[in-house]
């Protein structure tokens, strides 16, 4: 199975929006990440919209906004047929590498507090729980904010030179 990771184009917006609606926004009133909003994110200079394809079929996507020192993961979804295959982990690795290249130190995200599968996924990647935000989702559902310092550890140079 050949998996392709690429930046989204405006032509991908409708499919991304539909995946958001049925995989992330399910149960919420309205449609927050409608196609027009996704196109706006795709065109934004400070946002990466990642698409994952298998045999020319979109199986996952993620939207991450970049600030000066922090990035915010707005959305991440993988179709149920491809979940638990490492796709989400690979998407996060791709996004974290892009963030490191941009000089980002921390990635933050929010998820539904009762989404224990997502919570477990992000914990496994090293994300830590920061705070609960009551009413975050349309005033009705509580969110859990998680964050991770993605800076790579550089060996202590002083110790390197002392051993010589």
Q: How confident is the model at residue 38 (pLDDT cuts 50, 70, 90)?
A: very high
Look at the block and give the residue holding tokens 């130190």.
105
Note whether 17 and 31 are within 8 A (CB).
yes
The model's pTM? 0.88
Domain locations along the chain: 3-162
Tell me the catalytic residues.
Answer: 110, 122
Dihedral angle of Cα 63, 48, 80, 125, to the nearest 10 degrees: -80
With a cut of 60, say whether residue 115 has pLDDT above it: yes
Name the strand (E) or helix (H) holding 142: strand 141-149
Q: In this predicted structure, what is the pLDDT of residue 159?
A: 54
Residue 135's pLDDT is what? 85
For 40, how many CA atoms within 13 A lie in the half-sphere containing its CB? Answer: 6
Q: 34: helix, coil or strand?
A: coil
Query: To which CATH superfamily is domain 3-162 assigned?
Result: Gcn5-related N-acetyltransferase (GNAT) (3.40.630.30)
Structure tokens at 112: 């539904």
Distance of alpha carbon 141 from alpha carbon 139, whole angstroms: 6
- Taking residues 51-73, report their average pLDDT: 96
Maximum CA extent, the chain: 64
Report the C-alpha gap between 84 and 82 in whole angstroms. 7
Which two three-digit tokens encode residue 86?
Answer: 């490492």
- The whole-number pLDDT of residue 19 equals 96
The pair of structure tokens assigned to 161 is: 């030179």
pLDDT bracket for residue 77 (50, 70, 90): very high
Q: Is 60 exposed, middle or buried (0-12, 13-18, 19+ CB in 10 A)?
A: buried
98 pLDDT above the threshold of 80:
yes
């Amino acid at each position: 199975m050949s998996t392709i990771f690429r930046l989204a184009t405006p032509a991908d917006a409708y499919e991304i929006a539909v995946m958001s609606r049925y995989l992330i926004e399910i149960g919420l009133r309205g449609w927050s990440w409608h196609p027009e909003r996704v196109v706006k994110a795709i065109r934004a200079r400070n946002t990466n919209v990642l698409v994952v394809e298998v045999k020319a079929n979109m199986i996952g996507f993620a939207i991450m906004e970049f600030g000066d020192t922090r990035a915010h993961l707005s959305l991440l979804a993988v179709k149920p047929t491809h979940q638990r295959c490492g796709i989400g982990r690979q998407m996060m690795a791709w996004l974290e590498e892009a963030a490191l290249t941009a000089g980002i130190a921390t990635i933050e995200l929010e998820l539904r507090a009762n989404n224990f599968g997502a919570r477990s996924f992000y914990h496994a990647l090293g994300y830590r729980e920061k705070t609960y935000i009551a009413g975050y989702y349309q005033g009705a559902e509580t969110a859990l904010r998680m964050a991770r310092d993605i800076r790579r550890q550089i060996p202590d140079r002083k110790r390197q030179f002392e051993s010589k």
